[in-house]
Amino acid sequence: MTKILSSRFNRRLLLTALTFTTLAASSIACANDFSPEQSFHFWPGNLVVSRSVYDNNASNVQVGQILPINCAATTGGCSASTGAPYDGTYPYVWNDVLYDPAFGITSRIYLDQVTPNGWLINSLEVPNSVHPYSPAGQLVTSFSSKSEIGLHLSLNHKYLTFMGYVAPVNAVDVSNSNTPGAVDPTNPVGENFYRAVATVDGNGNFDFTETNAYSGNNGRQAILNDRHGANYFYTSGNAGDGSNPQPNGVILGAGAQFITPANLREVAQKPGTTTPLASFSIAALGDKADKIGKDDNFRGMTVFNDVVYYTKGSGSNGVNTVYFVDTTGTACPKGVGVPVAGAPLPSAPLSYNAATLQTTGLPTNMCVLAGFPSTPVKTATTLSYPFGVWFADANTLYVADEGDGYSGGTDLYTHAAAQATAGLQKWVFNTTSKRWSLAYTLQTNLGLGQPYVVRNYPTGNNPGTSLPWAPATDGLRNITGHVDGLGRVTIWAITSTISGNGDVGADPNRLVAITDDVKNTSASVAAQEKFVTLRAAGFGETLRGVSFTPDAEIPKFGWH
């Protein structure tokens, strides 16, 4: 069991310049430092990394088990009658997704407090069904769901927020289940579980707010607006796992949501109809509308200068790009623009016409950020895959691109290594043209397409795919950053992976960092900057989100 560093030593770490070239990678222990009898504290200036841990229980799935769960009770039907080809043994169990496209298993969530240079201080286990009792409730993630448990500070920096499922540990197919208040009978997963937003304060105290949002798919990230008397969440995610047309509850619970904290224990909560925050349709760009609700497959998000930003980087509908919520209705008459100066943050759900929900969907109140891609996925000749976003200042935006996830042949490694836009993109705003432009993409020493060794992991080829087990970095997902007084920005990021695993979301991945000059726009100068691996997930682990620790006082220089 790890111990909290002394405050004197911790302060010395924070005052020391971050010299990443001297840092060595270290693996994360499967620590659990939380119990009702123990004191826990997040120390200001440290990082928090969310980690999912699978228990490697062979009985989680039986060979030949018919999946998805309870599929026979739905109109969506079951996968082939031969049943699951693999039991619950890690990592072979993730090959079952080749049989059941909805496959996943819920797992415990840990919040690892680490120093900015990657040293583990302690770990806080999120309450769950096998964890010591928590009066607030419990929450799990789906182990192989790569877009989950992103971490954010509330706008006053007092709380960390993230999303998960109100379900037991080791439950199958929860990530594609319905929510109880938005059941789609065409969804082949015949079980219902609430999603929930979690908050945790500096002393490790949890609260959970259940929601019917993201039925058929997953809630991914949440940010609490707790400024100036406000008290509501902005969240991102995806919804739907059934046929078209989708029920109203699925359409209303997709994408960007506006959720009011419950302020009750989970057992006393009764979530009602979901309340969308924002929506986008490619019809705003003059294109033929997609399947209703599927343009809103949002992943990353941030709030900067009182504007809520989202990213979309996957799916066959919509535009893979960076968006913002327009609270004025004037920022983008043709679907593309920049925020109006002085526009307020959203303070109420999006209004909509229930009578036209099935025909035209939700109204569009979002814009593609000018300069970013605006061509729909279905017609784009090149695609980007934006995930995490972080503003260094009003004119400098860092975007994590997770790569295209290609693992369809023996060229998977060389394909990943050749990607030009995967990694950390730096975008610069032109105040004259009012557009953003890509300055360069940081990749040096990120190891794109370079397979690495995981202790106790299988070697050779996966029998389920006939491709190598060894993971390699494919790009970046969630990020956070800090600008020092000299204008040097440090970005911490969670890597995405490719491999021959049946589900690459289950690959052990890494926490990396890089330092950049905010004012630099030269690609040749940026090429000298190098990523360093700070932590590596071990056997049966994945890393998901990264944030600074909750702190009642906002730091002098910008981290958010």
Beta-sheet strands, E only, within 351-501: 366-369, 386-393, 396-401, 423-430, 435-442, 461-462, 467-468, 472-483, 488-498
Query: Whose structure tokens read 């005052």?
Result: 15
Reported residue count of the chain is: 560
Mean of pLDDT values over 437-448: 98
pLDDT tens profile 498-537: 999 999 999 999 999 999 999 999 999 999 999 999 999 9
The predicted pLDDT at position 461 comes to: 98
User: Which residues lie below 8 Å from residue 381, measured CB to CB, with a gap of 6+?
Assistant: 375
User: Does the residue 269 lie in any domain?
Assistant: no
pLDDT higher than 70, residue 555: no
The predicted pLDDT at position 147 comes to: 96
User: Does the residue 556 lie in any domain?
Assistant: no
Q: In total, how many domains does the chain have?
A: 1
From residue 470, how far is each of 140, 220, 232 by CA, in Å? Answer: 27, 26, 42
- Using a pLDDT cut of 90, give the percent of the chain over it: 87
pLDDT tens profile 488-499: 999 999 999 999
User: Does the residue 436 lie in any domain?
Assistant: yes
User: Does the residue 453 lie in any domain?
Assistant: yes
pLDDT tens profile 92-150: 999 999 999 999 999 999 999 999 999 999 999 999 999 877 889 999 999 999 999 99
User: Does the residue 158 lie in any domain?
Assistant: yes
CB 296 within 8 A of CB 365: no
Mean of pLDDT values over 201-211: 96
pLDDT higher than 80, residue 445: yes
pLDDT higher than 90, residue 325: yes
Domain that residue 368 falls in: 7-240+252-262+276-548
User: Which residues lie below 8 Å from residue 526, measured CB to CB, with a gap of 6+?
Assistant: 426, 439, 440, 442, 516, 520
The predicted pLDDT at position 35 comes to: 42
pLDDT tens profile 234-257: 999 999 999 999 999 999 999 999
pLDDT classification of 26: cutoffs 50, 70, 90 = very low
The predicted pLDDT at position 135 comes to: 86
Query: Whose structure tokens read 């925020």?
Result: 339
pLDDT classification of 413: cutoffs 50, 70, 90 = very high
Q: How far apart are CA 279 and CA 71, in angstroms?
A: 31
The predicted pLDDT at position 460 comes to: 97
The predicted pLDDT at position 552 comes to: 53
User: Does the residue 46 lie in any domain?
Assistant: yes
User: Does the residue 126 lie in any domain?
Assistant: yes
Q: How far apart are CA 66 and CA 81, in angstroms?
A: 7
User: Does the residue 267 lie in any domain?
Assistant: no
